[in-house]
Amino acid sequence: MKRSIPFSTKQEINRLSKDKKIILFGAGNIAEKTTRMIPPNKLDSIVDNSTNLSGEVQFGVEVRSPQFLETVDRGGVLIIITTTSFSDVSKQLEGLGFIPSIDFIVSPVLNDLRIIDELESIETSLIFSSGAPKQDSSEYGGGIYQLTVNGDEWKHEKKIDGNCYGMVKYNGNFVALDTDRGIFEFDKDFNILRQAKMPPGSRAHGIDFSEEKQIFFVNCSYLDTVLFVDTDFEIVDEVRISNKQKKYGHPAHHSNDCCIWGDSLFVSMFSETGNWKLDVFDGAVLEFDIATKNLVGAVVRDLWMPHNIKVIDGGLTLLDSLKGHLLTNNMQVCGDFPAFTRGLDYDGQYYFIGQSRNRNYSKNIGLSKNISIDAGIIVFDIQTKASRFLQLPPKISEIHSIVLL
C-alpha cells in the first residue's frame, strides 16, 4: 500500500521547486505558515475554491480561482496544497492533469492531519485466527475470521469454527492449525480442502512454509518440538528444543511460533532454559540449523511471552507479547502497545497487529501504566508512530495469526 501523496518537507519543497514558481492551493493560516518554508521570490500566487476570495491579495500575491491553473505552464510550477481538504484538492488537481509528487505536494504543515486521514481511509481485508473457546456464533468464539475494513467502518465474520492458531499462505490458499482438526488447508471461499491430525497432545501452535524445501514447519507447544510436515501433511522430521519434555513428560519451554529463512529455523518461546512454570520468563528466539537439527544460538533474549517471529523487509520482526512491543530493525522496540500483542502482518506501509485480552494482567503492573483488556486489530505506521484500533467483541478475546488478503 503506497501513500497517495508522500510526506513533504522543507527539503522536498526546495528540491521540487528548483527552476519553478510556487502556487499555494488554499488561502489563510496554513498558507501563511507554509510561506515561511518557501525560498524568497518563489511564491507566484494562491488558488482557492472560495470564489469570494478571488482578487484578494495575501502575502504579497493575488488569490485566484482554480480555473487559473488551466493556464499555467505545468512544467514551470509546483503546487503546494495548504488546506485541510487536501484529499479533495489532491483529486481535483489530478483531474486537471497534475501529477502527485512531481507537480504538487501537501504542505509539511498538514502532515499530521494527512497521516490521520490516511489511517482513517484504509480499505483492506484480512483473515485472523482465534483460539478462543468454540461458540455457535458467526460473530465470536474460536475459529477463522474475515475482517473487512472500509474507511471508518469494519465488519468481522467467523468463516470456520474451531480452536485455531497458526496460519500461513500456501499456493493461493491457506494452511492453518486447529486443536481438533490438526493441520488443514482452506481456499479463499473458506472451503476446507483437506486436513490431517497432529500427534496427540501436541498443541500445534505456530506454522511456517518453506517454498524452497516444500516443507511446513509446525511448532508444537506441548511437545517443545518443531515438526517437519511435507505437502501431503505427513510428518517427516523434527527439531527438539531440548530433552526436557522427553525427560520429564511435560513441556518446559512453551515454544510457540517459528520462521524459516534459508537453512535456518527460528523459534520463539516463553523460556530459553525451560523454567517458565517456575515463573522464570526468560523468553527468547533460538536459531536451529535445519540440516543438522543443531542449535545455532539465541538470536534475541530478554523477552516476555514472545510470538510471531517473521522476516519482514529483509529483517527479523517479532512481537514481545506481554510487554506489548513490536521488535524490528535489529530487534529494537519500534512499537509499544498497551495490550497482549499476538498476530502480525505487513502490507508495505502499515503493520497489522493482533491484540488479545490480557490474561496475565497482574504481571504487567509496573511494566505498563495502561493495560488494555480489549481485543482487536492495531493498524500501525512505524514511520510516524501513529496507530488505529479496530475493536472486536470481547467474546472473541484471543487473536493468534493475521494474514492480509
- Residues of the chain above pLDDT 70, percent: 95
Q: Please tell me the predicted confidence (pLDDT) of residue 96.
A: 94
Q: How far apart are CA 78 and CA 86, in angstroms?
A: 15
Q: Is residue 123 within 8 Å of 37, Cβ to Cβ?
A: no
Q: How far apart are CA 46 and CA 105, in angstroms?
A: 14
Kindly state the cell numbers that stand for 164.
485455531
Q: How far apart are CA 338 and CA 364, in angstroms?
A: 10
User: Which single residue is written with the C-alpha cell 476570495?
Assistant: 53
Asked whether residue 80 carries a pLDDT value surpassing 50, the answer given is yes
Give tens-digit pLDDT for 37-64.
998 889 999 999 998 999 999 999 999 9
Q: Please tell me the predicted confidence (pLDDT) of residue 142.
A: 92
DSSP codes of every residue in 149-184: EETTEEEEEEEEES-EEEEEEETTEEEEEETTTEEE
Give tens-digit pLDDT for 358-401.
665 555 555 666 777 889 999 999 988 999 999 998 888 899 99
Q: Please tell me the predicted confidence (pLDDT) of residue 115.
A: 83
Asked whether residue 220 carries a pLDDT value surpassing 90, the answer given is yes
Helix (H, G, I), strand (E, B) or coil at 78: strand
Domain ranges of the chain: 10-120, 123-404
Mean pLDDT of all residues in 242-265: 93
Q: Please tell me the predicted confidence (pLDDT) of residue 147.
A: 97
CATH 3.40.718.10 fits 123-404, yes or no: no
Q: Is residue 270 within 8 Å of 254, Cβ to Cβ?
A: yes
Close Cβ partners of 266 (under 8 Å, ≥ 6 residues apart): 258, 259, 260, 285, 286, 287, 288, 299, 309, 316
Sign of the Cα torsion 364, 365, 370, 375 reads positive
* CATH topology for the 10-120 domain: Rossmann fold (3.40.50)
User: Which single residue is written with the C-alpha cell 496475565?
Assistant: 360
